[in-house]
Amino acid sequence: MSIIKEFKEFAMKGNVIDLAVGVVIGGAFGAIVKSLVDDVIMPPIGLLVGNVDFSNMFFVLKEGSKQLGPYVSVAAAKQAGAVTLNIGLFINAMVSFTIVAFAIFMLVKAINRLKREEPAAAAPAPATKECPFCASNIPEKASRCPQCTSQL
């Protein structure tokens, strides 16, 4: 089998295509969650904690060579060549991760609920019983054992 034919067979398997679709959808979902965190969730939280913009919350570890601080934003600090510890961006990433993890948890929980098998119906009562004298199986309604002829 040629390598091209083998690769084509591999690439066209259902699992590979499903994985590719999942990655693309996951990337789009990640962008939506990032926007939700950066544009909807974090501004009110920043307002509640004293008008803080979390995306520009950082500490300067080493001043830049082009310009000395204070820097207005992370971008300005990076442009000046400063080394910064970006706490706010990390907080935003943690909130994004929590939202994505929760959404995936809820999705997996819903899928598991759909996959869960219905509990098996109670087994029907056995149509036979055991003879107490000869231990053979006999019909439930029998009044005499056909094997040992004992009265039941």
Residue 122 has pLDDT above 80, yes or no: no
Q: How confident is the model at residue 120 (pLDDT cuts 50, 70, 90)?
A: low
Q: How confident is the model at residue 111 (pLDDT cuts 50, 70, 90)?
A: confident
Residue 94 has pLDDT above 70, yes or no: yes
Q: What is the C-alpha separation between 36 and 66, in angstroms, rounded?
A: 35
**Contact by Cβ (8 Å): 70, 64:** no
Q: What is the C-alpha separation between 118 and 132, in angstroms, rounded?
A: 37
Task: Calculate what percentage of the chain has a pLDDT beyond 90.
Answer: 2
Say what the alpha-carbon torsion angle 30, 95, 93, 63 is, to the nearest 10 degrees: 150
pLDDT digits (tens, 9 = 90+) for 34-83: 888 878 887 888 788 777 777 788 888 888 877 776 888 888 888 888 89
- Every domain of the chain and the residues it spans: 1-50, 52-120, 121-151
**Contact by Cβ (8 Å): 145, 133:** yes
